[in-house]
Every structure is written in structure tokens, then in C-alpha cells.
Amino acid sequence: MDWFGRAKISFTSSPTPLVLEKKDGSRTDLRKVCEEATPPCQLNPLLFNGHLQTMWTAVNTEGPKIYYRRKIFDANHKTYNGTFAVDFAVDPHDNADETLPPRTAYYAEEDFVKIASDDSRPMLIVLHGLSGGSHEVYLRHAIEPLLADGENWAVCVVNSRGCANSAITSGVLFNARATWDVRQIVNWARETFPNRPLFGVGFSLGACILTNYVAEDGSACPLKAAVAVGNPFNLEVSSKALLRTFFGKEVYQRVMGTNMNKLINSHKESILKHTNLEWDRINNVTYLYEFDRAVQTVTWGYPTEDAYYRDASCADAVMAIRIPFFAISAADDPIAVDEAVPKEEIKQNPYTVLCSTSLGGHLSWFEIGGGRWHAKPISNFLKHMVSDIKLDSIRPTTNGHTLDGPKARTRFEPARRKLDILDT
């Protein structure tokens, strides 16, 4: 046990991390930026392991009061149509909509059409965890420092379809490989705010989606940097780790399965209208893997839940990232388990750095007094990138690194999880 809640911090990165040019003309590298952004991790000593940290989230439900305005976007994906909700952090207001999460109201159409701006404020696009939304406490803790007086950040949260009291208007929910909604919002933000540097933060399942998106877009990704927090990375490994222990199955798998069951039951009319899912089968779901078997495999066409986990995992995708990428994990995370973290892949990619704490649980990191430690490295890193780093100098070929893998007659395409033969 770490002494009196003082967690050990370790970093994993390429031996030659991405070189970054500072605004004063000097140079640093991505690992140094991440290290400088990460303060000591002093957690509540009464919550001395990952289980206690994680379970405390059900008790400590207070957090910063963030206010939002919601906009419903029509999806522009040619196959996965429908709508999804994006919540924009705004100044406090007193006209919250009772049908939405706390402190949230819809944008008036006449106000939203005037949202475009040529200002150069940094903008953060956030993805939440499984069955969550913009209202989640861990998320509000993380963005509050950026919304504080004087920071001048713009923040929006992309809610997964059906989450945070949003409607389901097509035959799909969301999964860890469903990158098109965040891609649409990033591209929309690039057009609507052409001078804003864009950043991304994802939590848990949202971290997996964000990692897959950043990898799929590679050097063409419009984001200047991304942060992935509590990322399960390898979903099959994480799932099997939960199922092999009584606590993992009967607590975490059961709770997550119950939450997803509640979510889908709240959309029964839409589900019956748009899908061919078997309702009785869904209602018999107890564990998360059963939900994925009953819903995800049928919705997306995977033969088994393990096939979904393997395809949607982002562990291999890490190698395709070509923007500064900061991953933050806890070694005692009982859900996004440490054995699923692709540390060897991170060592091979100069664009990626992992910070791992010995304590913290899953998206918890509770400090004495109820604060959340993860908010500090997230906000510090993003602020440092904006204030100190010459963002336009970041190029996918910086340092002359070649990231095509070994000298063989094959090439592994990490975003596709596929080995191609080059010479037949």
C-alpha cells in the first residue's frame, strides 16, 4: 500500500519523444511537457485501493456546477444517420430544461446560428464514459479549471447517442469504434471557429473512441493534442479480467450491465421502431458482456461480443496517432485494467506518453476534501500546450521518425488492425 495515499507516478514513452518548439524559440519534448503538467498524486488515504476509490464515486456525487446549452446535430454519416446531442458549456443560467440533465437547456435556434466566431480561444471537445454524459462528476471536475475566470476556454461535450437524456432516432446506439459523431463535431468546429486550436479529452469508453478517432485520422487529425483518461484500450482483455474475479463480475460487470439496460429501456419505443433487437432478451441482461452480446453484436453485425471487443479496441491504434497524445491511467483501475494498457506500443510512438499512478481506481483519484487529482494533469497539460508550445510547428514527420514498423515484406496498419503483404 502506498504510504498515506501518496501514489507513485510513472511515465512510459518513446526513448526519443516528439520534439516540440516553444513560443520563446527553445525546444522541449512531449514527455517533458507531460511530466511538468503532472503534480504529485496525494489521494485520500482512507480510499487506499482501486475498489474503494471507484466505489466512492457512488457516494461523492457533488462536483463543480457546470451549465450547458444543448444542440441536436443531424448526423452526416451516409450509413449511420440519425441525431446526437452536443452540450456546450455556457455562463450560468436559470432556465434549465427538466427533461435534460441538471443545469442544461436547449440552445434557441436564433442564438445557435450566431455561434460562429473568428476568435482564437482554445476549444476542448470532450467524450464521456459508458452510459454517461456531460453531467458526469469526473467530467465536470476536469473541465472546471479551464472554464474558471480568465482561462477563456470554450468547451463542448459530445453525448453518445441515447445518453444524457438524448433521443435515439436511428437503428444504432454507440460503441467504442463509433468515431463518426466526434469526427463530425471536430470538423464542424474547424469550419465554425477557424482560428481556434482544437483539443480533445476522452474518459473510459470515450477515451477509447477518441483514441480510435485520432488514429484513424492520423496526420490529418485537426486536433492539436488529445488526452485519454482511464482508457480500457484492449476491451477483450479488460472484459476477461473482470469476469475472472467474483468482485469484477458481480459488482462492475453487473453495475455496468444494469446501467446499459436502464439506458436502453428508457428508449424502448425508439428501439422497437428502428431496430430488430429482441426485447425479452435485453430484459434478461445482467452483466455488461450479456448486454454487448444481446445489443452490440446484433446492432453492428459482430458474430460475438469478443469479436466486437477485438475490433473496437484501440490498443493497436495507438501506433497510428500523429498528434501529441497524453494517456492518464491508474495501475489499480479495476475496470480499465493495467494489463490492457499497450505500453510497448506507446514506447514505439514518439507522439504518445502514458502517465500511470499506482492509486486512483477508475476515473476516481479522490483527494482529501473531495477534489479529483486527474483534473490537474489534464488542465495543466492543455494550458501548457496553449501558452508555451508553438502549435503550428507540430508536424507528423518531426524528428525524422519512421513509424512504419520493422523492415519486413509486410506492413501493419494499426488503425485497421491489419497486416498487409507488400510484395507478392
Predicted local confidence at residue 405, as pLDDT:
53
pTM of the model: 0.95
Looking at residues 206-215, what average pLDDT do you find? Answer: 98
User: Where does the pLDDT of residue 398 fall: very low under 50, low under 70, confident under 90, or very high at 90 and above?
Assistant: very low
From the number of C-beta atoms within 10 Å of its C-beta (0-12, 13-18, 19+), residue 69 rates as buried
For 162-178, what is each residue's pLDDT tens digit? 999 999 999 888 999 99
Point out the catalytic residue in the list 332, 333, 338, 374. 333
Q: Is 111 a catalytic site residue?
A: no
Which one from 134, 170, 204, 379 is the annotated catalytic residue? 204
Residue 404 has what pLDDT?
Answer: 53
Of 424 and 93, more confident: 93
Residues of the chain with pLDDT > 90: what percent? 87
Q: Residues 128, 141, 267, 362: which is the catalytic one?
A: 362
Structure-model confidence comparison of residues 357 and 79, the more confident one: 357
Which residue ranges make up each domain of the chain? Answer: 9-234+323-397, 235-312
The pLDDT of residue 309 is 98
Q: Compute the average pLDDT of residues 307-311.
A: 97
pLDDT at 268: 92
- Given a cut of 70, whether residue 397 has pLDDT beyond it is no
Q: Taking 90 as the threshold, does the pLDDT of residue 313 lie above it?
A: yes
Average confidence score pLDDT of the chain:
94
Quick one: which of 353, 371, 355 has its CA closest to 30?
353
Q: What is the pLDDT of residues 182-205, one digit of tens each?
A: 999 999 999 999 999 999 999 999
Alpha-carbon 397 to chain mean position: 26
Q: Which CATH class is domain 9-234+323-397?
A: alpha beta
Q: Does the pLDDT at position 401 exceed 60?
A: no
Express each pLDDT in 20-44 by its tens digit. Answer: 999 999 999 999 999 999 999 999 9
What mean pLDDT do residues 53-66 have? Answer: 90
Of 295, 316, 272, the closest CA to residue 405 belongs to 316
Is 135 a known active-site residue?
no
Establish whether 204 is a catalytic residue: yes
Asked if pLDDT for residue 406 goes beyond 60, the answer is no
User: Looking at residue 399, what is its pLDDT?
Assistant: 42
Residue 69 reports pLDDT greater than 70: yes
| 227-255: pLDDT as tens digits | 999 999 999 999 999 999 999 999 999 99
Mean pLDDT of 393-407: 58
pLDDT at 79 over 50: yes
